[in-house]
Structure 1
Amino acid sequence: MTQEQLQECIDECLRCVQACNYCYKSCLEEESVDMMKDCIRLDRECADICAFTAQALTQHSTYSTELCRLCADACERCGNECSKHHHSAHCQKCAEACFRCAEVCRKMIA
């Protein structure tokens, strides 16, 4: 992997953290929070995994491949859940960030 690929993955992970955190906060403010439980849970998990992956990549961890695989899976799940909530712009933006991050992480493990 090149330094540019590494930096792109770190950047996408951090963008995904921001999108998931915003989505999480916004979902908690929805009228029917109960309907958003899965979205909220996946937002938190995805943000945490993305943050850890970005940190590990900056350290050139020996687990980078495994972490990128886990991160891609978490982003895919979160993106799929968020994309179900068409009524919420924050969910749609989060889904986009998640799918982008998943794509970049998969490039890292290819």
Structure 2
Amino acid sequence: MNEVAAAIADPVRREILLMLRDRALSAGQIADRFAISRPAVSRHLRVLREAGLVSDVADGRRRVYALVTAPLDELTGWLDRLTRPSGWQHHLDALETEVYRTRRERTSAPPLEETA
């Protein structure tokens, strides 16, 4: 998970992943979309490949890259646990809902008549 998180920490690499979301692209097609050198794009692709986020295939003299989303599953699960309410928060939210419901019922109920 750490390698995946480190790989997507860079904005250029995140943009490359978005580019590959729709279709596989050659290294040249990817490099053409950036204002950085081809060797720099190649280094970014290597980091993504080593993290398992892209796969590459030789097609003649060029390399074609495709997105691999499986390594993101562990990171997504961790982020989900981080952003979901904790057990206590869930119970406190339920208690708050119950308190407000009880208050509403008390204010909307007709007053009880006293018998003497």
Q: TM-score, normalised by structure 1?
A: 0.28
Greater relative contact order (Cα < 8 A, sep 6+): 1
Q: TM-score, normalised by structure 2?
A: 0.27
Larger Rg: 2
Higher percent of residues as strand: 2
Higher percent of residues as helix: 1
